[in-house]
A and B are shown apart, each in its own frame.
Chain A
């Protein structure tokens, strides 16, 4: 009798423990720029991630485990980001998202390698995936992929022989400037003005005046969101009168909202956009707007993709295995028919770089219009 009661109690205890473990949530920490110069970047990313997490949880989570996501504010400061990532690592999450700013990613990348924890981030600087860190994964193109496309567009479509560069003096801007300089050189396009601006800079009057004096055929603008809008407004104020060409940030919805009519006529390459003529992207935009009451920019899509990347990789493994999550992501191709949350087919290589279709776009009447779809590099 005593043995029977003891066996029964042990069985109940085992069942209870197994039940608790089966329901143990998947902890994700998102380290994002929720204030400071990068507030647009981080807030969009956070909102996109929250939307995806809620959708995944509503369908039962990942392998039966609900996701719990926590957001930390880096204040757009790399030093703060480093402290917060360490705090995140100490809490033993399954995966970490962010930061969005390339300078912050560069500062925290070694921590992920030391802790052997996967990071899915929004940074675009080319060097972020060149250090051999197997735990860093992109949600958007690196500059080494996007700048050759911009250079080709400037040479073939805009027919520019001379270009002025306006770039922000941080890791994101420097990386972009280096890659576009290299790419333009391959097309024989001359750079007649090479102007750096400071992060958070508010006054672009001298920058625009210098560009006017250089008289280029086109201007390549590579700034963060707020600064892009200020530059466009100053360019309009001084009637710069040159084609303004950029990459995803310059044509982003937040920049269009801030710059108003000053954004009209801006053109460029876009890796991610909610104006993409892709039904899944349009549906994501509708759901995001319904929840957050504004149109997301590309950072919102990045944040939305991150939880779905985790879901696809974890389901591929068939179990929650934090140590091997990065291995599962390397070489993984996620297609929308298998995982609709990924929106467009995407492949991650051994460096954590992403391959996906992209777009050429123009801003007109406060709206971004896609003028061409560019296929995946592997296609």
Chain B
């Protein structure tokens, strides 16, 4: 029983990180029809921003804040202006291919200009046990879960409870009508990219202490987030949350009770089943078009 609780909490912690990354996927698709195949590398990169900042002598928490800001600017504003805007007019497919190229470029750049080897990365909280009755769980897992839940809750409050957030939702639902109603659509889309930049930076701070900072981290994280977004529902933020948590728990249960080799297989099996049975995702909305 204790083992099962530990596995579930560990899976939820990992799943919460997947959810943060998948939310970014979903937001970018909803507001700008962008499928960002470099999302995994967007999670890998902020860790190196932090390491570079720390190498100048700054303490970790300052470097982490700078890393989040730099990520929001580079992976948000610069990404939007330099790649998305020029490519979007050519259609969804060329844009998707461009993000694949960006993924390779970012990975190889880190490998060439920083290092091909893994680097240690500080954890946000120390490694310690928490005793919850008969069950012992890791403080780091609980902290990861708490931080991710807080981030998602803040985002949900922002989207639903603020004027700007509602404007972003209007842009996502129907940019043409939103523009007519006076919503600054371009600014809302830009804000979405900035939010994604900050979300992936937070995910990076949470996952890199475990994964270590390495140029190849984006491969597994990007795929996991992509699957989470599709399984949950690509057109719903809550779909990304459900998909991420489900994926994290499923991976851990498969690795524990089947074998480590099935850690990667089970999410793919879930993906195939969901696409066949409920292609809009578990909590996604079916999209239809009148002809």
Q: Which residues of A contact B (CB under 8 A)?
A: 34-37, 39-40, 43, 169, 195-198, 200-203, 205-207, 209-210, 212-213, 225-226, 229-230, 233-234, 236-239, 254, 257-260, 262
Q: Are B261 and A169 in contact (CB under 8 A)?
A: yes
Please pick, from A195, A258, A259, the residue contacting B260 in the complex, using a CB distance under 8 A: A195
Q: In the complex, what residues of A have CB within 8 A of residue B261's CB? A: 169, 196, 198
**Cα separation A50 to B136 with both chains bound (whole Å):** 49
A195 to B217, CA, bound (A): 23
Could you tell me which B residues sit within 8 Å of A by CB distance? 3, 6-7, 10-11, 14, 111, 115-120, 127-129, 136, 138, 140-141, 209-212, 214-217, 220, 251-252, 255-256, 259-261, 263-264
CB distance from B20 to the nearest CB of A (A): 16
Distance in Å: Cβ of B212 to nearest Cβ of chain A = 6
Q: Tell me the complex Cα distance, A353–B12, Å.
A: 48
Q: Which residues of B contact A236 (CB under 8 A)?
A: 127
**Closest partner residue, chain A, to B264 (CB atom):** A198
- B138 pairs with A238, CB closer than 8 A: yes
Closest 8 CB pairs of A and B: A39-B116, A206-B255, A205-B10, A206-B256, A35-B116, A202-B211, A237-B127, A226-B118
A225 proximity list for chain B (CB < 8 A)? 118
CB pair A34–B116 under 8 Å, yes or no, is yes
A77 to chain B, nearest CB (A): 12
In the complex, the chain A residue whose C-beta lies closest to that of B220 is: A202
Known interface pairs A40-B117, A229-B118, A238-B138. Does A209 touch B209 (Cβ–Cβ under 8 Å)?
no
In the bound complex, how far is the Cα of B14 from the Cα of A326, in angstroms? 51
Expressed in whole angstroms, the minimum distance between the Cβ of A87 and any Cβ of chain B is 20
Known: A39-B116, A43-B117, A258-B212. A209 touches B127 (CB 8 A): no
CA A209 to CA B3, docked complex, whole Å: 6
- The answer for the CA separation of A225 and B116 in the assembled complex, in Å, is 13
Q: Chain A residues near B212 (CB, 8 Å)?
A: 202, 226, 229-230, 258
Question: How long is the Cα–Cα vector from A108 to B214 in the complex, in angstroms?
Answer: 28
Sampled A-B contacts (15; CB under 8 Å) = A36-B216, A37-B216, A40-B117, A43-B116, A169-B261, A196-B259, A198-B261, A201-B263, A209-B256, A212-B6, A213-B3, A230-B211, A237-B127, A257-B120, A262-B127
Given contacts A202-B210, A238-B138, contact A207 B3 (CB under 8 A): no
Cα distance A196–B260 when bound, in Å?
A: 7
CA of A201 to CA of B256, assembled, Å: 14
| B129 / chain A contacts, CB cutoff of 8 Å | 238-239
Most buried by B among A195, A238, A259, A262: A238
For B7, list chain A residues within 8 Å (CB): 205-206, 209
Knowing A34-B116, A206-B252, the reply to whether A238 touches B6 (Cβ < 8 A) is yes
Contacts of B217 in A (CB 8 A): 202
Which residue of chain B lies nearest to A236 when distances are taken between CB atoms in the complex? B127
**14 new A-B contacts at CB < 8 Å, known A203-B251, A226-B118:** A43-B116, A202-B211, A202-B217, A202-B220, A203-B210, A203-B263, A205-B6, A205-B252, A233-B127, A233-B209, A234-B210, A236-B127, A237-B140, A258-B120
Give the most central of B116, B138, B259, B264: most A CB within 10 Å.
B116
* Bound-state Cα–Cα, A230 to B119, Å: 11
Residues in A whose Cβ lies below 8 Å from that of B111: 35
Which residues on the A side are within 8 Å of B255 (C-beta)?
203, 206-207
**Are A210 and B138 in contact (CB-based, < 8 A)?**
no
**Which of A40, A169, A201 contacts B118 (CB under 8 A)?**
A40
Q: In the complex, how many angstroms separate the beta carbon of B192 from the nearest chain A beta carbon?
A: 29
- Are the C-beta atoms of B10 and A206 separated by less than 8 Å? yes
Interface pair B263/A198, CB less than 8 Å apart: yes
Minimal Cβ-Cβ distance residue in A for B13: A205
B160 CB, min distance to chain A CBs, angstroms: 33
> A230 to B120, Cβ gap below 8 A?
no
Contacts of B120 in A (CB 8 A): 229, 257-260
B260: A residues at CB distance < 8 A: 169, 195-198, 201, 206-207
Cα(A203)–Cα(B6), bound, Å: 14
Cα(A200)–Cα(B220), bound, Å: 10
Query: Are B117 and A209 touching (Cβ within 8 A)?
Result: no
> Which residues of chain A have C-beta atoms less than 8 A from B211's C-beta?
202, 230
**In the complex, which residue of chain A has the Cβ closest to the Cβ of B139?**
A237
B131 to chain A, nearest CB (A): 11
A202 and B136 CA atoms in complex are apart in Å by: 22
Q: How far apart are the CA atoms of A230 and B214 in the complex, in Å?
A: 12
Query: For residue B119, which residues in chain A have a CB less than 8 angstroms away from its CB?
Result: 258
Q: Which of A169, A198, A206, A237 has the most B CB atoms < 10 Å from its CB?
A: A206
Please measure, in the bound complex, the distance between the C-alpha atom of A319 and the C-alpha atom of B217, giving whole angstroms: 48
Q: With the chains together, A299 CA to B10 CA distance in Å?
A: 34
- Cβ–Cβ < 8 Å partners of B141 in chain A: 205, 237
For B4, the closest partner residue in chain A by CB is A209
Using CB atoms, name the residue of chain B closest to A203.
Answer: B14
| Least distance between A256 CB and chain B CB atoms (Å) | 10
Contact (A209, B214) CB under 8 Å given A195-B260, A198-B261? no
A262 to B141 CA separation, bound complex (whole angstroms): 16
Hey, which chain B residues are within 8 Å of A207, CB to CB? 255, 260
Shortest beta-carbon distance, A305 to chain B, in Å?
A: 21
Known: A169-B260, A206-B260. A258 touches B3 (CB 8 A): no
- Residues on B with beta carbons closer than 8 Å to the beta carbon of A239: 127-129, 136
Residue numbers in A under 8 Å from B138 (CB-CB): 237-238
**A258–B6 Cα gap in the complex (Å)?**
25
